[in-house]
């Protein structure tokens, strides 16, 4: 578990990456993409993360946390066009990345499904896409195919569908499987990866950094006070030991 100092510097590093690269993707993933691009001479714009090409519509902002949770792993997946596949996969294969990293080989022949995008009750219908990017069509197709979940107002509605999510972050995938990953708060904007506007995440990370800084200072103050208290107790113990070392009155009879 990270201590307050580690959390503070982790948030500081995230903020630096966010301000420098203007993407919501976590810094360790952005670092891997940078290494790939430097080694292969592939432009960064040719290798987007899926999360950079979609965002939750403003009118469905209250569902952002739940949709982010559903799409998080897909959002941090690197998209590799067919023409760059060999160069990118060979580089990644040679490296020890230190984390779980997913990339998709994207064929130019991919056809976008649009059957679910007009349905505002589903996740696909509550997203905007960067249609000007050449890989946006593939992302839309994958969202429609893999994340065609219904946005359910409550568990009663969730019970009626095979694929659905609640605003609190409960996900139903199929007839039996339900998942709720509460390792982070569902509306924790520091964990968001979808979209191209970074201001909300900058504010969230700044607040998290300031909170960690306050906790660190408070912990440091308590540690200092505890050290001072220890010195006092140590002096008292030595005084008691000195008294207990006296075995006879003659030892302290200074007048005689």
Average pLDDT value for residue range 129-139: 94
pLDDT of residue 114: 60
Half-sphere exposure of 71 (CA within 13 A, CB side): 34
pLDDT, one tens digit per residue, over 75-124 is 999 999 999 999 999 999 999 999 999 999 998 765 556 666 889 999 99
Say how far apart CA 172 and CA 170 lie, in whole Å: 7
pLDDT of residue 183: 93
Say how far apart CA 36 and CA 101 lie, in whole Å: 13
Q: 3-class SS at 171?
A: strand
Model-level pTM greater than 0.85?
Answer: no
Give the confidence band of 242 by pLDDT, cuts at 50, 70, 90.
confident
Running DSSP on this structure, what letter comes out for residue 178?
A: E
33 closest CA partner among 86, 68, 79: 79
Q: Strands 163-166 and 150-152, how do they pair?
A: parallel
Instruction: Provide the token pair at 245.
Output: 């070392």
149 closest CA partner among 176, 179, 172: 172
Of residues 189 and 70, which shows the higher confidence score? Answer: 70
**Dihedrals phi, psi of 164, to nearest 5 degrees:** -160, 165
pLDDT of residue 70: 98
Say how far apart CA 51 and CA 61 lie, in whole Å: 16
Give the confidence band of 22 by pLDDT, cuts at 50, 70, 90.
confident
Name residue 105's beta-bridge partners. 80
Give the confidence band of 248 by pLDDT, cuts at 50, 70, 90.
confident
Give the confidence band of 245 by pLDDT, cuts at 50, 70, 90.
confident
- Residue 190 pLDDT > 80: yes
pLDDT of residue 113: 61
- Residue 163 pLDDT > 80: yes
pLDDT of residue 110: 57
Report yes or no: 204 and 189 within 8 Å, Cβ to Cβ.
yes
Instruction: Provide the token pair at 35.
Output: 């290494």
The sign of the dihedral angle between the CA atoms of 74, 78, 81, 86 is: negative
Say how far apart CA 139 and CA 74 lie, in whole Å: 10
pLDDT of residue 227: 83
pLDDT over 90 percentage in the chain: 61
pLDDT of residue 50: 98
- Residue 246 pLDDT > 90: no
Q: 3-class SS at 246?
A: coil
Say how far apart CA 210 and CA 109 lie, in whole Å: 48
| Average pLDDT over the chain, rounded to an integer | 89
Give the confidence band of 18 by pLDDT, cuts at 50, 70, 90.
confident
Q: Which residue has the tokens 């969202």?
A: 143
CA distance to 67, 77, 134, 196, per residue, from 112 (Å): 20, 18, 12, 21
Give the confidence band of 2 by pLDDT, cuts at 50, 70, 90.
low
Average pLDDT value for residue range 196-225: 79
């Amino acid at each position: 578990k990270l201590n307050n100092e580690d959390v503070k510097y982790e948030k500081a590093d995230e903020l630096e990456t966010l301000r420098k690269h203007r993407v919501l993707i976590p810094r360790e993933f952005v670092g891997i993409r940078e290494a790939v691009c430097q080694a292969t001479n592939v432009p960064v714009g040719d290798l987007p993360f899926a999360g950079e090409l979609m965002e939750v519509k403003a009118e469905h902002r209250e569902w952002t946390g739940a949709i982010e949770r559903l799409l998080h792993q897909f959002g941090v997946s690197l998209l590799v066009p067919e023409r760059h596949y060999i160069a990118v996969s060979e580089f990644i294969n040679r490296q020890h990345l230190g984390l779980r990293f997913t990339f998709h080989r994207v064929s130019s022949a991919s056809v976008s499904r649009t059957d679910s995008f007009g349905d505002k009750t589903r996740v696909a219908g509550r997203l905007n896409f960067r249609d000007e990017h050449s890989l946006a069509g593939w992302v839309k197709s994958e969202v429609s195919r893999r994340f065609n979940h219904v946005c359910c107002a409550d568990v009663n509605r969730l019970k009626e569908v095979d694929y659905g999510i609640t605003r609190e972050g409960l996900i139903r995938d199929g007839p039996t499987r339900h998942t709720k990953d509460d390792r982070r708060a569902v509306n924790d904007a520091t964990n968001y990866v979808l979209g191209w506007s970074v201001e909300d995440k900058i504010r969230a990370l700044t607040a998290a950094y300031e909170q960690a800084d306050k906790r660190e200072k408070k912990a440091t103050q308590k540690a200092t006070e505890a050290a001072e208290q220890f010195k006092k107790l140590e002096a008292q113990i030595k005084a008691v030991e000195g008294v207990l070392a006296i075995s006879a009155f003659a030892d302290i009879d200074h007048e005689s």
